[in-house]
């Protein structure tokens, strides 16, 4: 994290498990991190060094959740009568959802991770916005409208957000 007043950087955590954001790294490196972890677990060599890892473009991930933003992000369990995500160039969708799928009240309300990869950050954000606008979901309330608002907001596009920005600017 970066303190917006002082510019000081703070390190939050070290976590040795795969992170939910790993598809962003996979998109810009072209390397499957889960497959590589399994390879290492089988005591097999990686076959490349850090110097072999090249970054290509920008990737951005958003999480589509079954929640009611207007009601303090209250989870909205239910059964999906419709779930369809557009097939777009540069878009990866990690989901368990399909028509008839149940969103239970007991766990994380995550429905899908949408990951966009493009040559530049704005282009990746545009892919995510298009995907969210063309996404069809019925049966539960989602945070889709909020995601579109955030991804398209000038402050977000300029990187001018802080930990209280969402509450001040959007919600």
Clarify whether 17 is annotated catalytic: yes
Whether the CA torsion 45, 115, 77, 164 is positive or negative: it is: positive
Q: 3 is written with which tokens?
A: 């303190």
Q: Give the per-residue SS3 of 42-101.
A: CCCCCCCCHHHCCCCCEEEEEEEECEEHHHCCEECCEECCEEECCCCCCEEEEECCCCCC
Of the candidates 70, 42, 62, 51, which has an alpha carbon nearest to the alpha carbon of residue 128? Answer: 62
CA 69 from centre of chain: 17
DSSP 110: E
User: Which sequence positions are flagged as catalytic?
Assistant: 17
């Amino acid at each position: 994290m970066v303190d917006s007043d002082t510019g000081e950087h703070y390190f939050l955590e070290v976590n040795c498990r795969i992170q939910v954001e790993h598809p962003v790294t996979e998109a810009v490196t072209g390397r499957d991190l889960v497959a590589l972890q399994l390879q290492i677990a089988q005591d097999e060599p990686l076959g490349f060094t850090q110097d072999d890892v090249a970054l290509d473009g920008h990737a951005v991930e958003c999480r589509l959740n079954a929640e009611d933003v207007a009601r303090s992000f209250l989870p909205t369990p239910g059964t999906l009568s419709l779930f369809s995500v557009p097939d777009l160039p540069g878009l990866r969708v990690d989901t368990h959802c399909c028509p008839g799928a149940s969103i239970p009240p007991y766990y994380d309300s995550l429905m899908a991770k949408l990951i966009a990869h493009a040559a530049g950050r704005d282009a990746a954000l545009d892919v995510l916005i298009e995907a969210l606008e063309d996404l069809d979901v019925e049966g539960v309330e989602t945070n889709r409208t909020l995601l579109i608002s955030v991804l398209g907001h000038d402050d977000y596009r300029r990187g001018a957000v802080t930990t209280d920005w969402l509450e001040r600017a959007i919600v």
